Amino acid sequence: MLLNTVIISINQCLPIALLWVLLRQVVSENRISNRQSLNATILGVGLSIVYLNLIGMVSQWFDYRGLEITQMLMLSALYIAMIMSFIHRTSRWPQFAIVIAIVVYLSNFLTYIVGFASADAMQSLAIGTMLGIGICFSFSTLLYFFLANTNVRALPRMLLALFALHAGSKIAIAADLGAQIDLLPTSSGVYDLRLILDEHSVIGRVLRALMGYEASPGLVSLVAYIGSVLFCFFVIASVQRRNLRSLA
């Protein structure tokens, strides 16, 4: 129970922490303060609790596919919010992205906690949660200051690439959910890299949270991932060209 809680808390909290790092490093440029980040976090936690209380009703929507469809919609909204954060120079879209990410991932974690909560398991759940959150906080803090203090000419392009890959991973996850409930066609893995790097290993989990790494993705998921990443690159290039013309 303790180890499972640590792993699940890392899986659900690390994408939120990495999103915050990318937003602060790539698109925010001091447009979203620590206080605004805190307000977005509080709002996201509150909405996650509300969503958790409505899960029984939501699950009955769309012929009992409501949970998957609402998750797909929220992941798509998160992808749009990330792109809009890069386009518009306001703090509104980064805050919205943080709120949506917290609702998506924290609601899954809270469902796990509620499902296994009992007098015997509470200590393991509490310790595992604190350990997982601590690991995520430590990793994201180190990554943030590493990126903030690294003076490499190619770093801005690397950050933009990570931003696009992270955004595209949300659409890939949504596509996987769509395939699970037969909204999208299912297919076997296009390739299999599990012998080289399993997505359930330590490095694999970090890469999955950071850029949506999958060792054996299905065709629909892979196409959705590549298409959404390319569209994000197109938006980034268009915004940069617009900024260059405005400076000329």
Examine the pLDDT at 113 and tell me if it is beyond 90: no
Rounded to whole angstroms, how far apart are CA atoms 248 and 242? 10
Q: What is the residue-averaged pLDDT of the chain?
A: 88
∠ at Cα 145 (107, 108), nearest 5°?
A: 10
pLDDT tens for residues 16-45? 999 999 988 887 655 677 788 889 999 999
Q: State the pLDDT at residue 117.
A: 75
Check residues 113 and 152 and name the one with the higher pLDDT: 113
pLDDT value, residue 88? 82
Query: Which pLDDT value is given to residue 105?
Result: 93
DSSP string, 111-173: HHHHHH--TTTHHHHHHHHHHHHHHHHHHHHHHHHHHHH---TTHHHHHHHHHHHHHHHHHHH
Question: Which residues pair with residue 189 across a beta bridge?
Answer: 218
Residue identified by tokens 């949970």 is 67
Residue 192 in 3-state DSSP?
Answer: coil
CA distance 24 to 31: 8
The dihedral region occupied by 195, where left means phi > 0, alpha psi between -120 and 50, and beta the remainder, is alpha
Q: What pLDDT does residue 146 have?
A: 85
Q: What are phi and psi of 218, to 5 degrees?
A: -75, 165
AA identity, residue 3 = L
For 55-64, 73-82, 180-189, which range has the lowest pLDDT when averaged over its residues?
Answer: 180-189
Residue 31 pLDDT = 63
pLDDT number for residue 247: 66
Q: State how many domains the chain has.
A: 1
| CA atoms in the 13 A half-sphere facing the CB of 145 | 5
Distance CA 150, CA 207 (A): 20
Span 175-222, pLDDT tens digits: 999 999 988 888 777 888 888 898 888 888 889 998 989 888 889 999
Q: Give the span between the Cα atoms of 163 and 92, in whole angstroms.
A: 18
pLDDT on residue 130: 92
CA-to-CA dists, residue 204 to 21, 171, 191, angstroms: 19, 19, 16
pLDDT band (50, 70, 90) for residue 243:
confident
- Phi and psi (nearest 5°) for 56? -60, -40
Confidence of residue 248 (pLDDT cuts 50, 70, 90): low
Give the separation between CA 49 and CA 70, rounded to whole angstroms: 15
Could you tell me the residue range of the domain that residue 194 belongs to?
Answer: 2-247
DSSP H helix total and E strand total for the chain: 10, 0
Residue 86, token pair as written in the block? 């890069």
Phi, psi of 214 (to 5 degrees): -130, 130
Q: How far apart are the first and last CA of the chain?
A: 60
